Structure 1
Amino acid sequence: MASTVIVGGGIIGIATAYYLSEHQPGSSIHLVDSSATLFASASGFAGGFLARDWFHEDLASLGPLSFDEHEKLAKQFDGREKWLYAKSVTVNYELPRRRPKGSTGQDWLREGGSRADVIEERGEVKDRNSPPWLRRIKGDALSLLDNGEGTAVLDPLKLCQFLLERCRAAGVRIHNPAVVLNVGADCHDELSYVHIGDTYHSVYTSMDDFSPEIYARPNGHIWLGGVNASLRLPPLATSAKPMDAPLEKLKNLAKQIIRTDGDELEVLRTGLCFRPVSERGTPYVTRIEDVDLRQGYRTRKGSDGGVYVATGHGPWGISLSLGTAKVMAEMMQGRELSADISKLGYWP
């Protein structure tokens, strides 16, 4: 069997290696990452929010597949304990002030809005759906986005570490720090930069200048993020360091909206996440045709060769990771695809 080389050891890369290893010898799979420490950016520091159907219509098949794969993996390997997987009631929280105009569809990230704005139908929040740790004030409002059937949370770092452990046990070869010398950026350099942009609860809200996201995990930790910035992608993921001003903004927000009963909030980890976003707003999950490789490159036909790309998932990299990885493995191995990804191809 031909060897498979995966360039990039984030959650989609490591999950693809995992799914490949279920159908081919692990020793034929090589995972290459340029950083000395794996999962040093979004795959290790993201909030880990999962949704079944909060996506553009082009992702209508991949979204539910990935959500179901997350649940299936958690049931199979005790994900509740190992990577803090849990279904999550999701609400939108509005402070008693003028609510900033939200953005919808696939433009919300570039426009700095909340991804909760893509949900048009909202319900009344019952007692069990109100986060007990949320500090309520007079005049605020909660609306229900999901009752816990279509949204969930997990710790992406712990999930990545679990997948890495499974890959190593299967014999997958991990190369880091290492670089693949003969793979360059695409002709338009589009893919080499990012564009910035027992009941558990996820909360979305909008402030004057940013849209925070707050997720409660089963171990009692609360993840808080949502301050965007326009930053150039560093050469290595380990070079991404949090900035003081956004961190202070998040800490101040935490003090305002998280009820502590007089206790001090403890900051356990901080991180900076880069989210690759394509110009069209949806990811690329596809095989690149030889003609688009330029420079006269030719690959073997069918499952014996090829160059495949999975990138541009924006804020949905964790949520779509397992579905993307499963489909990528199926595509590489010439098997029937579990989701319709016909709208996620590359057309230069």
Structure 2
Amino acid sequence: MATTVIVGSGIIGLSTAYYLCRQQPASSIHLVDPSPRLFASASGYAGGFVARDWFDPRLAALGALSYEEHGKLASEHEGAERWGYTRCVTVGYEPRSKTRASGRDDDGEGQGDWLREGMSRSGVAGGSKGWRGQAPPWLRMREGDAVTVMDGGDGTALVDPLKLCGFLLEHVKAAGVHVHHPATVLSIHRDVRDELASVTIRYTDSSAETETPATRLLLCAGAWTPQIMSSLFPLAGSPVRIDPLAGHSLVVRTPGFKLGDESHSVFCTLRDAGLAPELFARANGVIYLSGVNSSNTPLSALATDAQPDEVSLAKLKDIARRLIALPPGEKQELEVVRAGLCFRPVTERGVPYVTRLKDEQLGIKTRGGGEGGV
């Protein structure tokens, strides 16, 4: 029986296991993650914005499929209640500035990776450039500010990624998938035909080891994937180039203020600050805010080791006070529900790796010179 070992138990690893259960027995699937607490990076601290067509043309088909699957999953498993799935109106917001008032367009948005380059993802939105519209009630507006509707709710949605991952984990475990954590894949073993046969898994909280059959090995560890490859395949070189991009985020609640029945996503351009914040009003009445990123922050050994930078959090709090309105007469500050730092995997080519690696790419010399199941 084919056995699959998935390294990484975040959103990619879990969703892979979820759909793989339809193709093979759940008991033949193993998830391995070194963090003592799961979802401590992007899988728990991301914004949860889901779009049908906001993608590089090379990813258009995959993006559309992902959007439709999110809707199906929510419909089949009460996603609105369990992980806050909701369609949302998506707008672009730009405060009045001298540059915009003069009619000049300094966006400079090209065809590269918007995340790596510190731009707004709204620059890669497909279809219409939008139309003038009404701002969400919680957005602090001033005379001369511009709000452009990018999507009226037919092609964008929101989820709470932490709750979505929690659902997927619960579902695959109930189906019989084996979850090993905190644990690492220590080594791989091949059979007499030079084909992948098993892996050794070490539990980091006890140093116990177990050998598990493995026909396929999937690397889904996000920004930590290159480190895992170097550990398991020291002669591989760099068959995939993935860099970590640190991003801080806040989840805030506005005292005494209801967000309304309609959820909104807001993509901002703050030219004076050189930032492109993103705000997502989630179904549970909180607002997620991000947009302070750094490519110079060293990648932590484990996701749980990442420590937010107070200067970056202070910037986000200033942005929150600038952009989120309080009810008239309200004297309380915004309540910070959660602050976090996560590392997003980014690539120079601007699209993810979904590929099978050949033995020669892994630095493995075999008689057949074929594909090693990775």
Fold equivalence (TM over 0.5): yes
CA separation of 1:252/1:125 partners in 2, compared to 1, >3 Å: closer, same or farther? same
- Deviation, 1:164, is 0.2
The superposition leaves residues 166-212 of structure 1 with CA deviations (integer Å, 9 ceiling, x where unpaired) of 01101110001111122632412744642568211000111222110
- Other structure's SS at 1:139 match: coil
Matched with 1:74 is 74
- In structure 1, what is the equivalent of residue 333 of structure 2? 264
Structure exhibiting the larger radius of gyration computed from Cα positions: 2
- Choose from 166, 173, 188 the match for 1:168: 173
Contact 1:13 1:31 in 2 (8 A): yes
Between the aligned partners of 2:71 and 2:36, the Cα distance in structure 1 is 31
CA contact (8 A) 1:87 1:200 kept: yes
Tell me if structure 2 keeps the 8 A contact 1:205–1:213: yes
In 2, Cα distance between equivalents of 1:192 and 1:34: 19
Matched, 1:107 2:113: yes
Equivalent position SS for 1:106: coil
Structure 1 residue aligned with 2:343: 274
Where 1:91 maps in the other structure, the secondary structure is: strand
Partner of 1:214: 279
Write out aligned runs for 1:1-348 (5 A). Answer: 1-97=1-97, 98=99, 101-119=107-125, 121-127=128-134, 130-182=135-187, 184-185=229-230, 186-188=236-238, 190-191=240-241, 193-195=243-245, 198-207=261-270, 208-229=273-294, 230-261=296-327, 262=330, 263-296=332-365, 306-307=373-374
Gaps of 5+ in 1: 308-348
Q: Deviation at 1:297? A: 5.5
Rounded Cα–Cα distance in structure 2 between residues aligned with 1:299 and 1:89: 54
Residues 100-109 or 206-215, more deviating = 100-109
SS at match of 1:64: helix
Amino acid corresponding to residue 103 of structure 1 in structure 2 = E
Contact 2:85 2:283 in 1 (8 A): yes
SS in 1 for 2:184: coil
In the alignment, is the contact (CA less than 8 A) between 2:358 and 2:370 conserved in 1?
no
Please identify which structure carries the higher helix content.
Answer: 1
Contact 2:90-2:266 at 8 Å conserved across structures: yes
Counterpart residue type for residue 24 of structure 1:
Q
* 1:102–1:108 Cα contact (<8 Å) kept: no
Counterpart Cα distance in 1 of 2:368 and 2:312: 45
Distance 2:133 2:246 in 1: 36
Q: Which moved more, 1:161-170 or 1:284-293?
A: 284-293
Offset of 1:10 from its aligned partner? Answer: 0.9
**SS in structure 2 at match of 1:283:** coil
Alpha-carbon deviations, 1:107-149, whole Å to 9, x = none? 322321111122373332444xx21111111110101111111
Call closer, same or farther: CA 1:297–1:184 in 2, change over 3 Å.
farther
2:242–2:346 Cα contact (<8 Å) kept: no
Q: Matched residue pairs, number?
A: 303
> Structure 1 or 2: larger strand share?
2
- Give, in whole Å, the separation in 2 of the partners of 1:71 and 1:256: 33
* C-alpha separation in 1, matches of 2:137 and 2:16: 37
Partners of 1:88 and 1:145 in 2: how far apart?
Answer: 11
Report how far residue 270 of structure 1 moved: 1.0
- CA-based RMSD of the aligned residues comes to 2.1
2:44–2:162 contact (8 Å) kept in structure 1: yes
* 1:39-75 Cα shifts (integer Å, max 9, x gaps): 0001001110111111111101100000000000001
After TM superposition, the structure 1 stretch with the greater mean CA deviation from structure 2, 74-83 or 96-105, is 96-105
Query: Equivalent residue of 1:226, what SS?
Result: strand
Is the 8 Å Cα contact of residues 246 and 342 (structure 2) preserved in structure 1? no
Instruction: Give 5+ residue unaligned stretches, structure 2.
Output: 101-105, 188-227, 231-235, 248-260
Q: Is the 8 A contact 1:9 1:32 kept in 2?
A: yes
Mean CA deviation greater in 88-97 or 112-121: 112-121
Of structures 1 and 2, the one scoring higher in RCO (CA 8 A, sep 6+) is 1
User: What is the identity percentage for the equivalent residue pairs of Structure 1 and Structure 2?
Assistant: 53
* Deviation sequence 1:238-283 (CA, Å, 0-9, x none): 0112110111111111111111212421111111121111221111
1:232–1:292 distance in 2 versus 1, CA, 3 Å: same
Q: 2:125 corresponds to which letter in structure 1?
A: I
Distance 1:139 1:299, change over 3 A: farther
Given the two structures, how large is their TM-score scaled by the length of structure 1? Answer: 0.82
